[in-house]
């Protein structure tokens, strides 16, 4: 099972418009609305590919109930902690030909300490029996970055393997807790390692994480650096580095990283941890996501077809 930690979900709205002009009235050609935030995107992507998924979400208000209903319709099992206030909304506007978005992300509301403690307890419970616990996206306002480390440690205590896809202080805190897998984009990898070249960055990131896990008597990690249409580099538990690409291009990259992660975990479940084979499915899902408007709304048949076309090389 994949138990996805989603502490700061949102209603994601994407307007498709020919052009965004300051001070002008816009009448979108289309509106795509989804239960969103990185964690829920990961959960939806994994479920789309047939994965056994539990979304552990912190929700509030009318927006939260809309998200809960949407996840139910999409077949995603949920474990929800209810907070006061309203779950945030994230708004994007994009040209349907280029897909380049202009984005407005609310920060969300601060949960009270009792609510956060209740949520963390649900993460511990939901991780029981899970094989993978991905932690994706931001923390709610007022929750310290060190909470990411706590969530990683709680997944480990439950016998699950943690996967981190965050940024900034939350990512640094999660790394200090030595997760099993880290996935970052090329810019984040450069900030962490000082290496602009993705292959060097993924090797350095793997070495860094292996040192921290080794100091705690833990097994070898996996590090992943994604680069959009340039594919992804993956350093597996043996420190073997794989580079994967797929020859497909779409105008809507938002959510491709989340689709990549959800598909990677499904691939690992299906193959018994064939990392290079799972990388192919991850790339197929990311590319399929970019072809359609809306994060993690790809066609699973298209994702698997693209996965078969992916080129995976040891480098």
Kindly list the domain boundaries of the chain, sorted by start residue.
2-314
Q: Which residues of the chain have pLDDT under 50?
A: none
Q: What was the pLDDT predicted at 96?
A: 82
3-state secondary structure of 198: helix
- H-helix or E-strand containing 70? helix 61-73
Helices (H) and strands (E) in the chain, counts: 10, 14
- H-helix or E-strand containing 286? helix 275-290
DSSP tag of 30? E
Question: Residue 225's beta-bridge partner residues?
Answer: 184, 233
Residue 252 near residue 228 (C-beta atoms within 8 A): no
- Over pLDDT 70: what percentage of the chain? 100
The CA distances from residue 276 to 209, 232, 240, 260, 261, in Å, are: 20, 11, 10, 13, 14
Q: What was the pLDDT predicted at 137?
A: 93
Q: What was the pLDDT predicted at 69?
A: 98
Q: What was the pLDDT predicted at 253?
A: 93
Q: What was the pLDDT predicted at 278?
A: 98
- Phi-psi label, residue 121: left if phi above 0, alpha if psi -120 to 50, beta otherwise: alpha
**2-314: what CATH class?**
alpha beta
């Amino acid at each position: 099972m994949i138990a996805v930690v989603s502490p700061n979900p949102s209603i994601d709205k994407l307007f498709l418009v020919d052009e965004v002009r300051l001070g002008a009235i816009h009448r979108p050609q289309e509106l795509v609305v989804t239960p969103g935030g990185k964690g829920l995107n990961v959960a939806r992507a994994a479920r789309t590919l047939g994965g056994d998924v539990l979304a552990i979400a912190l929700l509030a208000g009318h927006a939260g109930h809309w998200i809960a209903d949407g996840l139910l319709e999409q077949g995603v099992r949920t474990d929800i902690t209810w907070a006061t206030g309203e779950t945030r909304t994230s708004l994007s506007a994009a040209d349907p030909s280029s897909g380049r978005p202009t984005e407005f992300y609310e920060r969300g509301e601060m949960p009270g300490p009792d609510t956060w403690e209740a949520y963390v307890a649900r993460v511990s419970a939901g991780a029981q029996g899970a094989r993978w616990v991905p932690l994706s996206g931001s923390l709610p306002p007022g929750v310290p970055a060190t909470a990411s480390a706590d969530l990683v440690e709680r997944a480990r205590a439950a016998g699950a393997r943690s996967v981190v896809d965050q940024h900034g202080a939350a990512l640094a805190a999660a790394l200090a807790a030595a997760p099993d897998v880290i996935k970052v984009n090329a810019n984040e990898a450069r900030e962490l390692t000082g290496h602009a070249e993705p292959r060097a960055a993924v090797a350095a990131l793997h070495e860094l994480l292996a040192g921290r896990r080794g100091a705690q008597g833990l097994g070898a990690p996996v590090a992943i650096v994604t680069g959009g249409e340039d594919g992804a580099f993956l350093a597996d538990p043996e420190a073997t580095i794989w580079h994967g690409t797929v020859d497909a291009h779409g105008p809507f990259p938002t959510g491709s990283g989340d689709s990549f992660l959800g598909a990677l975990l499904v691939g690992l479940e299906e193959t018994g941890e064939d990392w290079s084979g799972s990388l192919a499915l991850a790339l197929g899902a990311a590319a399929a996501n970019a072809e359609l408007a809306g994060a993690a709304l790809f066609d699973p048949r298209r994702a698997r077809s693209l996965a078969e076309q992916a080129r995976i090389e040891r480098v």
